[in-house]
A and B are shown apart, each in its own frame.
Chain A
């Protein structure tokens, strides 16, 4: 202490040293992980494909190319001359434009589902865990009840009763996606609650909601982010499954699941590109999310590696 006194005088006027936060450490660890960075690059490319695709596509996703209609197996092949880079679908619509649109919808569904789960699930779980006791019991039993309802059944029922629309799909996915997150957040909150810094805040007189927002949520976020990146692909898979059943988004909108369904039904007619083009983007995106999720887990939780 006394040895540093003179140094202290020297530094007294100096600018404050910038600290390395745990987030900065995690970022450095993440960037050292090759698979995770590759996954991130793939995801960025897919996102760029979804955003820039409509601008560069020579065909509109709704227009039918009358030249290929009736002769899709030959005229609808992927080719640069016709401008159908990924070929056409069975109706002669440009598959590149359709895949771009499907990518937009699928990514939107995945990200909205994950966002709802992060916001609702984390807050819900943190509140249940922090207050504990009876509040915790009631809140978590509600989650149990919602979980025990077969979600696919509810989702299908919602889409059938209220009609197929993107909004209904979001509502249906939003209803189920936060349940697991709430449980995870609650469990983590219970361990955080025993930390002395929470007690220090309580003793100081910080309000409970401020404690949750300032102390609990930032410390939960590592686990939550990892789970959310793994949740995006599972949301995409849900949506694809629903669309595969023919209940998802409505024509002329489309999604990966709907496109894969269309392609699969034409598999025997020698038009395999209809299946492969959407499937390729579906698969690389899922892999991308899994690798990024893995990388984030290792980066945010170096002890568990």
Chain B
């Protein structure tokens, strides 16, 4: 099998948090945002990444894009390690990986016109292009994402949220990237606009052969767009499977709870179903629980869950789960 487009191997991201009230030289505390995450993404496919707030989805995405330093592990791009590249090579690599952000207005410089914003990656990576060429490309790209090219001289504050997100997408696609990392691109938009943006992304993916890393905490959106879905909890990837498999046959107790929390748009069915609700809060990533990080909230936790980090098991069909007791469906035998 050839190398996938993107692969992370045991990727960890650690943030240093200064101790409150400490001396300037006292060592900072460490926050493990992502721990030993391994993912694969094939060209032209979509990998969904779900998990609750604080689970490290965005940190993982930023480590892949390169705006957050990787503390351990590797990010392989077509088999080549990005983390160990020198700065110039990393900058040049930015052409292939682009990002779409959550808050569309926050992602656009208010002092630049839409044309300048969309053109920025072009000017960075193709400084030889003439003004007319840049303008023509920007116009084409704006049309492609459903914006009037005549609006090229407008400023971001003159657009609606959905339009701003389209501008963000145009900026991400202008250099013909192979991977676009979408960090909750629709969670700040209304539902009707969400659908438009998701459909636009899918359409562009088909046309341009893009791979997408799609982050969201809304499972129904992720299910719609993704080929494979990875579930994160407290910085660990707990389960990865194809979208249909994960929804129909979730194995990790956290995934089960997550899927059960998605409302069914039918009051009768909604009332009738059994809903295992997770209790408690997400533990602090400064001092995660020993062994399996989910054991403090897990309905099927056993005493030995505290001993060691559960290994990732392939239960067939490329369905990876990191819970040794995934088959003991309900109630704990404790």
Contact = CB atoms under 8 A, between A and B. Distances in A.
A and B: real partners? yes
Interface of A: 1, 4, 7-8, 11-12, 14-23, 195-197, 199-207, 210, 214-215, 218-219
B121 A16 contact: no
B23 to A, nearest CB: 14
A22 B148 contact: no
Interface residues of B, number: 46
A204 B146 CA distance: 23
A91 to B, nearest CB: 53
Closest 10 CB pairs of A and B: A205-B94, A205-B91, A19-B154, A196-B107, A218-B111, A196-B101, A203-B65, A197-B109, A204-B121, A196-B106
A21 B108 CA distance: 13
B67 A202 contact: yes
Given A11-B148, A200-B171, A19 B113 contact: yes
Contacts of B112: 214, 218
B66 interface: yes
B103 A196 contact: yes
A214 B91 CA distance: 17
A20 B110 CA distance: 11
A16 B149 contact: yes
Given A22-B155, A200-B171, A17 B150 contact: yes
Interface in B25-83: 62, 65-67
Given A1-B196, A204-B121, A19 B107 contact: no
Nearest to A210: B124
Given A196-B101, A200-B101, A205-B93, A15 B150 contact: yes
Contacts of A22: 110-111, 155, 157
A15 B150 CA distance: 6
A21 B115 CA distance: 13
Given A16-B150, A16-B152, A20-B158, A8 B92 contact: no
A87 to B, nearest CB: 50
A246 B98 CA distance: 62
B125 interface: yes
A4 B111 CA distance: 27
Nearest to A13: B150
A11 B65 CA distance: 37
B205 to A, nearest CB: 17
B318 interface: no
Contacts of B67: 199, 202-203
B151 A205 contact: no
Given A17-B150, A203-B98, A197 B108 contact: yes
Contacts of A15: 150
B151 to A, nearest CB: 6
Contacts of B95: 204-205
B10 interface: no
B99 A203 contact: yes
A18 B106 contact: no
A16 B151 CA distance: 6
Contacts of A196: 101-103, 106-107
A301 to B, nearest CB: 13
12 contacts: A15-B150, A16-B151, A19-B153, A196-B106, A197-B107, A200-B101, A203-B66, A205-B90, A205-B93, A206-B124, A210-B124, A214-B112
B101 A21 contact: no
Contacts of A202: 66-67
A4 B166 CA distance: 15
A201 B108 CA distance: 10
Contacts of A207: 91
Contacts of B102: 196
A14 B124 CA distance: 29
Interface string B138-162: 0000010010111111110110000
A11 B155 CA distance: 18
B66 A11 contact: no
B176 interface: no
B124 A205 contact: yes
Given A199-B101, A203-B66, A21 B148 contact: no
Nearest to B104: A196
B218 interface: no
B97 interface: yes
B155 A12 contact: no
Contacts of B62: 199
Contacts of A210: 124
B120 interface: yes
Contacts of A218: 109, 111-112
Given A20-B158, A21-B111, A22-B110, 6 more contacts: A19-B154, A19-B155, A196-B101, A199-B67, A199-B107, A205-B94
Contacts of A205: 90-95, 124-125
A14 B150 contact: yes
Nearest to B168: A200
B124 A204 contact: yes
Contact of A8 (B108, B121, B148): B148
Contact of A17 (B94, B110, B153): B153
A200 B173 CA distance: 12
Contacts of B110: 22, 219
